[in-house]
Amino acid sequence: MDFPRLVGPAFDPGSVWLVGAGPGDPGLLTLHAAYALGQAEIILHDALISDAILSMAPAARLEMAGKRAGGIRTQQLRINDRLIQLARQGLRVVRLKGGDPLVFGRGGEEALALAAAGIPFRIVPGISAGIGGTAAAGIPLTHRRLARSVAFATGHDSSGELADVDWAALSRGSEVLVFYMARRRIAQIAERLIQAGRAPAEPMALIGNATCSNQDVRICTLAEAASAVANIPPGTPTLVLVGPTIALRPLLADWQQIEPMTVEPRTAPVRANG
């Protein structure tokens, strides 16, 4: 098939693009994101960005600027300063984030820092894990007869503790709930939801490594959450879904095609120490 040729916008030296890499499958990168990887001279990337995606930027230097719970953490202010420093060197800078930069990705903080420093920037949205990951698991977020609202929440605060949210309002406000970065707090989340009025028998889905070749989907109830999470390998990025649409997964999973796209790298990417 003969596709039309797309011409990307100017990626000027001295500017920063805040780019969403999607939930993991390289095929879920947007065209803007793929273009940015090909134009970048240096990429500051999250810890969870796969080597396959990074290999799409063979000419760029790579710096890891990740913040994984329980692992090495790069302070956000340092990342902001580094982006400004690199842009002022006249480089084309990509800040590459898993999912979407503005959905629990601190992209808003980085954009504010760049604007305050007078650095031109572009925000490239990505497919958020709460959308791409649940789709790959065969769980619709909404359904006309089962769920007409969905809410997204973080599983922990900036210190790693359970997020301080209005659990009663969250529980009542949406039929489907999606929690990001929640693996270490799954049992507590389930307990709070039950205390807020959700039924102990309500289904919960634990989606590990969403959209990747090693994706793992486990279904339990809120009452079974503590025992279910004990079987998840440590360090597995896990998305948590609660709600009635989980009941549709058995009807869809056997027929759903979910194999991720693969990337054939041209040359090895160049990694920098930062």
Domain boundary among 112, 127, 142: 127
* pLDDT for 241 beyond 90: yes
CATH number, domain of 56, equals: 3.40.1010.10
Same domain membership, residue 144 and residue 96: no
> Hey, which residues are catalytic here?
46, 67, 181
Separation between Cα atoms, residue 134 and residue 249, nearest integer Å: 10
Domain boundary among 103, 127, 151: 127
Domain boundary among 127, 153, 172: 127
Q: How many domains does the chain have?
A: 2
pLDDT tens sequence across 164-178 = 889 999 999 999 999
pLDDT tens sequence across 104-131 = 999 999 999 999 999 999 999 999 999 9
Same domain membership, residue 202 and residue 238: yes
Q: Are β-strands 216-221 and 203-208 bridged in parallel, bridged antiparallel, or unpaired?
A: antiparallel
CATH number, domain of 233, equals: 3.30.950.10
136 part of a folded domain:
yes
270 part of a folded domain:
no
* Structural domain boundaries enclosing 64: 16-127
Average pLDDT, the chain: 91
273 part of a folded domain:
no
Is pTM beyond 0.85 here? yes
Q: In what order do the strands lie in the sheet with 203-208?
A: 150-154, 176-180, 238-242, 203-208, 216-221
271 part of a folded domain:
no
Same domain membership, residue 210 and residue 137: yes
